[in-house]
Amino acid sequence: MIQASCHTADNAFALEFDATPWFREADPQSILHLAEQGWSSAWIADALEARPGYEGLHRLIDYAATRLRDESLEDPTWAAIECVVSQPGATQWLGENRPEIALLLQRRRVDPGSRSTHPGDR
């Protein structure tokens, strides 16, 4: 299980959830992009909130979209929610379940200037 947590900008809602389904289905580039963003992104919540068992996540996103809407309209760069994935949990799960992506992440750590996601490019 890959732990993740989200909270609204006003901290009215906060919860933890299992982000494993997103990692199971995400393309390699999306996972690499998440890692480059410090393992923080609201799109994981967006992708999972309609699934059964993620009703709390749906309520958090709905609250942010309705109650915090005015603030986000005034400043488009303002994030109504923040979500963070457990980096150790994600890298361990990737190593066990999607080793090709774990290898790409490891290579990026060694060579941070490299952007290719194709292993043959290294």
Indicate whether this model's pTM tops 0.75.
yes
**Rounded-to-integer distance, Cα 11 and Cα 52, Å:** 24
d(CA 45, CA 73): 20
Note the pLDDT of residue 84: 97
Give the model's pLDDT for residue 110: 61
Where the chain has pLDDT below 50, the residues are 112, 114-122
Could you tell me the residue ranges of all domains in the chain?
Answer: 3-121
pLDDT of residue 93: 98
